[in-house]
A and B are shown apart, each in its own frame.
Chain A
Amino acid sequence: MKIIASYSIKGGVGKTSTAVNLAWQAAQEGANTLIWDLDPQAAASFYFRIKPKIKGGTKKLLKPKSVLDNLIKGTDYLNLDLLPADFSYRHMELGLNEQKHPTQQLLRLLRPLTQEYDYIFLDCPPTLTLVSENIFQAADIMICPVIPTTLSLRTLQQLEDFCNDNNLKHLSILPFFSMVDRRKKMHQQIIETFKPQGLFLNQQIAYASDIEKMGLRRAAVGDYAASSQAAKSYQSLWQEIQQRW
């Protein structure tokens, strides 16, 4: 069982589409997969047509004896379940602060599910808070979409510094270039500069209208555009990630 977080400090870089499409890919290959929509904006829940609501909200969720089992919903796809977002997740930080081990709460909640699922994907909110620290503690792998721009790279650096400072050695960080626009010279230059270092995954996800259509189709790209470049890219990205652990 592996817990995989799709994370970036910066918003709008393709975190949710990454989590949704990779989870879909894993499920298609027969793995029992769960995706937890931790972002109060609830984009992943929306893509899967599931109401962004959990019974009792964050308050009940963080109670010592709470379990996730009853909150899980099956998606439109076999082997793929979702734990929906809830608007109250925006107060999660406060709730976590009141706990005895504030950085271990997500891990505590996820532990009983490790028997049932082969992969648990966490679609994370774009923050660097106590919620993120919980994610870092729980995840085995952190996939970071990075737009090839200076600002995006800066946030990646911030993330790495944070992990080093907080002794998060168990966590393997796998950045990849997301929303790549080949027509933009700066994108090309940045990708070329970083290539020799081997820091980024080889597979990039190009900016594509097929991915944007996810909001309209409310489905994974591979479902409605199986032969598109975008679907193929996510498929190879998933293969490359699996080879990295």
Chain B
Amino acid sequence: MATLPNNLFKLEEGQDPAALWEQINVHYDLEKSITQTHDSICYDSFDWRLFLQGWQLTAHNKKTAYESGQNTAQQTECWSIILESVDGQQQYARQSLKQVPTFAWDFPDSLLKTQLQPILEMRALLAHTHLHWVVQTWKVLDDEQKTVVRLQLETVYVVGENSEHTCLGQALRVLPVRGYTKALQRVLQIIQAQALETEQKSWLELAWRQTQQQPGSYSSKLNLQLKPDMPANIATKIILQRLLDTMQENEAGTRQNLDSEFLHDFRVAIRRTRSVLSQVKGVLPKTTVTRFKPQFAWLGSVTTPTRDLDVYLLDFDKYHAMLPAQVQPDLAPLLHFLQQHHRQAQQKMAKTLVSKTYQKLIQEWQQFIHSPSRAHPQIPNSGRPVIEVANENIWKAYRKVLKAGKRINDDTPVVALHELRKDCKKLRYLMEFFQSLYPKDRAMRSIKILKDFQNILGDIQDYFVQVEHLQSFAEQMVEEGTGSSRTLLAMGVLVGHLLDLEQQARTRFTERFEIFAQETNRHRFAELFKPQKAKITKVITKATQAGGA
């Protein structure tokens, strides 16, 4: 059905459209058609991937399929799922299904699936807004009694969690009939002459206002706005508060296992918190650091088994594809094993996340963040401008990475590469914490350079860990009596393949490190992060040397 922009006219509360019908009746016949009620439920991922793409996904259940008043309403069990632009002007894909699948991969093969999959990836579709519509259609007829314009009197309710309906208002929608432009213009003129204003917001926007939802509000990125001269202890608490918010935002989804990204983001926030505690030196009271560091390490560790299994489940298709076709079916028991252990690990983790220990930790952590920040002589960096502390920490971490990287050659044991990977992660987190203190483009460029280098280290580590895990899974499966010899052989083939991949990744290390450590990049890092004091000393040294010469 074609729609035109701004075709929705606001009706004030209690306003009777009868006066308008009378005016239209002067020129055209009006026929009241049936009143339809239907529900529409809008879906998006927790991190609003569709909205950020400019899309909206809505499932409509229409109770009446026929338009004519003489028809009996036809009940349909189907949801018509429509992917369209946020303004509803462009439709990208449509599909009718008995229910809305949770994941893009659960959709039957279709254009809709092809569109959704690369955007949603592993994220679940969650219902964010439920609207209930009562729509009365009026047909504007010409002298042949032919419909030339349709008018819809819409009353829309937002449906809450306990099915409570809140009325969003009433509006008149003008729907053109193709090929009858003159009639459309005329009807629009009549409506405008009645001083009806166009409703600029869509029903969805009105619903968001009512439910106080902010689409696009969640992001796993830090998106902080720190000021360079801010005291370091205050800036650090802003970072910690943001990380705690992220943990809390993801906690319910993690517990309920809505999708694997909740746990992922939850864990990243824990890791970042631990990184603040250990990497941002001399800013927080020592007692706080010693008290909370082991507690967040514990929180991280209780979530590890579930995440590890998540990764295997997400990558299972990839493993499957690594094997020759005739061996692929032998891997099925591994999938079963992973699913079963995932269920157990998830249950155990969910229990921990409602435990008193966990709640106490979060509560006390919150208390610390909210406690007043005072500079203290025994905490040397607490009152210094954050830019200085950021520079010092980032520069130090960067130099550590450079030094360690230079020492690595083809014979270096893999453990050194893992240490380097950890150092890079620490550097990356520091850069991200303080990103807003630096010119945006240059900070992002430096992060990109580091990220490219991290990728190779990540690959080496991932293949290594995957091999270790597969070996341990195999042992467990033998113990549990769930691994047949064929399955173990298939896993062996997989291990061989992963070892090859690890080896190939290692051969690429030197080349990647050289890019990371090349002069232009070193210069870039120094310009951004090298502490001022060091720069001045260098200038003085240079001047002295020049003078001496």
* Interface positions of A (Cβ within 8 A of B): 28-30, 48-51, 71-79, 81, 218-219, 222-224, 226-227
Contact between chains at A74 and B70 (CB < 8 Å): no
Q: What chain B residues lie within 8 Å of A71 (beta carbons)?
A: 179
User: In this assembly, does B144 line the interface, its C-beta being within 8 Å of a C-beta of chain A?
Assistant: yes
The reply to whether A78 and B67 form a contact with Cβ atoms under 8 Å apart is yes
* CB of B96 within 8 Å of the partner chain: yes
CA distance A74 to B147 in the complex (A): 8
For residue A37, give the distance in angstroms from its CB to the closest CB of chain B. 14
Q: Which residue of B lies closest to A83 (CB)?
A: B179
- Selected from B71, B72, B178, the residue in CB contact (under 8 A) with A81 is B178
Instruction: Decide: B96 and A30 in contact? CB cutoff 8 A.
Output: yes
In the complex, whether B304 has a CB less than 8 A from a CB of chain A is no
Residues of B within 8 A of A (CB): 1, 65-68, 70-72, 80, 96, 139, 144-147, 176-180
Q: Which residues of B contact A219 (CB under 8 A)?
A: 68
Q: How far is the CA of A76 from the CA of B71 in the complex (A)?
A: 14
Extra pairs beyond A72-B179, A74-B176, A76-B147 (8, CB < 8 Å):
A30-B65, A49-B144, A74-B147, A219-B68, A222-B66, A223-B70, A226-B70, A226-B72
Contacts of B71 in A (CB 8 A): 223, 226
- Is A28 within 8 A of B147, CB to CB? no
Is B178 a contact of A49 with CB atoms below 8 Å? no
Which chain B residues lie closer than 8 Å to A227 at the CB level?
72
- For A78, what are the chain B residues with a Cβ–Cβ distance below 8 Å? 1, 67
Tell me which residues across on chain B come within 8 A of A48, comparing CB atoms: 146
Considering the complex, give the chain A residue whose CB is closest to the CB of B149: A74
- Point out the residues of chain A lying under 8 angstroms from B67, CB to CB: 77-78
- 4 smallest CB-CB distances across A and B, nearest first, come from A73-B179, A74-B177, A49-B146, A74-B178
Question: What are 21 sample pairs from A and B whose C-beta atoms fall under 8 A apart?
Answer: A29-B65, A30-B80, A30-B96, A48-B146, A49-B144, A49-B145, A49-B146, A50-B146, A51-B144, A73-B177, A73-B179, A74-B177, A74-B179, A76-B146, A76-B147, A78-B67, A81-B178, A218-B145, A222-B66, A223-B71, A226-B72
* B94 to A, closest residue via Cβ: A30
Q: Given A49-B145, A74-B179, A78-B1, are A226 and B139 neighbors across the interface (CB < 8 Å)?
A: no
Bound complex: CA of A48 vs CA of B178, how far in Å?
A: 13
In the assembled complex, how far is the CB of residue B141 from the closest CB belonging to chain A, in whole angstroms?
9
What residue of chain B has the Cβ atom nearest to residue A70's Cβ?
A: B179
User: What's the A-B contact tally at a CB cutoff of 8 Å?
Assistant: 48
Known: A74-B179, A224-B68. A79 touches B1 (CB 8 A): yes
Hey, which chain A residues are within 8 Å of B177, CB to CB?
Answer: 73-74
Note all chain A residues with C-beta closer than 8 A to B179.
71-74
Contact B66 A28 (CB under 8 A): yes
A72 to B176, CA, bound (A): 13
CA distance A55 to B146 in the complex (A): 19
Judge whether B178 and A226 touch: CB under 8 Å: no
In the bound complex, residues from chain B placing their C-beta under 8 Å from that of A50 are 146
CA distance A50 to B177 in the complex (A): 12
Chain A residues in 8 Å Cβ range of B80: 30
- In the complex where A49-B144, A78-B1 touch, is A223 in contact with B180 (Cβ < 8 A)? no
Contact A76 B96 (CB under 8 A): no
- Establish whether residues A73 and B65, one from each chain, have CB atoms under 8 Å apart when the complex forms: no
- The listed residue (B1, B65, B139, B144) touching A28 by CB distance below 8 A is B65
Q: How many Å lie between the Cα of A29 and that of B80 in the bound state?
A: 11
- B139 x A76 contact (CB < 8 A): yes
In the complex formed, the residue of B with least CB distance to A76 is B147
- Nearest CB of A to B166, in Å: 29
Residue of B with least CB distance to A71: B179
For B1, B145, B147, the residue with the greatest tally of chain A CB atoms inside 10 Å of its CB is B147
Q: Tell me whether A224 and B146 are in contact (CB under 8 A).
A: no
**Distance of A51 Cα from B1 Cα, bound (Å):** 21
CB distance from A27 to the nearest CB of B (A): 10
Chain A residues, CB < 8 A from B68: 219, 223-224
Chain A's nearest CB lies how many Å from the CB of B33? Answer: 10
Cα–Cα, bound, A76→B147 (Å): 5
CA distance A71 to B179 in the complex (A): 7
Our pick among A49, A51, A226 for the contact of B66 (Cβ within 8 Å) is A226
User: Do the beta carbons of A73 and B180 come within 8 Å of each other?
Assistant: yes
Complex-state Cα separation, A49 to B147, whole angstroms: 9
Q: Find the A residue at minimum CB distance from B148.
A: A74
Name the residue of chain A whose CB is nearest to the CB of B177.
A74
CA A215 to CA B147, docked complex, whole Å: 17
Which residues of the other chain, B, contact A72 by a CB distance below 8 angstroms?
A: 178-179
Q: Which residues does chain B contribute within 8 Å of A29, judged by CB atoms? A: 65
In the bound complex, how far is the Cα of B71 from the Cα of A28, in angstroms? 12
A30, B179: Cα distance in complex, Å: 20
Looking at B67, B139, B145, the one whose CB has the most chain A CB atoms below 10 A away is: B67
Given A49-B146, A78-B1: A224 and B180 interface contact (C-beta under 8 Å):
no
In the bound assembly, the distance between CA atoms of A76 and B180 in angstroms comes to 12
A51: nearest chain-B partner, CB-CB = B144
Residues of B within 8 A of A74 (CB): 147, 176-180
**Could you tell me the distance between the alpha carbons of A229 and B482 in the complex, rounded to whole angstroms?**
60
Kindly state the separation between the CA atoms of A214 and B395 in the bound complex, as whole angstroms. Answer: 84
Given contacts A49-B144, A73-B180, contact A224 B96 (CB under 8 A): no
In the assembled complex, the Cα of A78 lies from the Cα of B2 at a distance in Å of 10
| Chain A CB within 10 Å, residue with most, of B1, B80, B139, B176 | B1
Contact: A73 with B144, CB < 8 Å? no
Of the candidates B1, B96, B179, the one having the most CB atoms from chain A within 10 angstroms of its own CB is B179
How far does the Cβ of B155 sit from chain A's closest Cβ, in whole Å?
Answer: 20
Per the bound structure, the CA–CA distance linking A224 and B1 in Å amounts to 23
Q: Looking at A30, A72, A74, A75, which has the most chain B CB atoms within 10 Å of its CB?
A: A74
B28 to chain A, nearest CB (A): 14
Complexed CA–CA distance, A231 and B147 (Å):
22
Q: Which residue of B lies closest to A32 (CB)?
A: B1
- Tell me the complex Cα distance, A81–B178, Å: 8
| Chain B residues, CB < 8 A from A218 | 145
Residue contact B178 to A73, C-beta cutoff 8 Å: yes
Give B69 Cβ to nearest chain A Cβ, in Å: 10
Residues of A close to B176: CB separation below 8 A: 74
A226: B residues at CB distance < 8 A: 66, 70-72
Q: Shortest distance in angstroms between A146's beta carbon and chain B's nearest beta carbon?
A: 30
Nearest-CB distance from A218 to chain B (Å)? 8
Could you tell me the distance between the alpha carbons of A76 and B139 in the complex, rounded to whole angstroms? Answer: 9
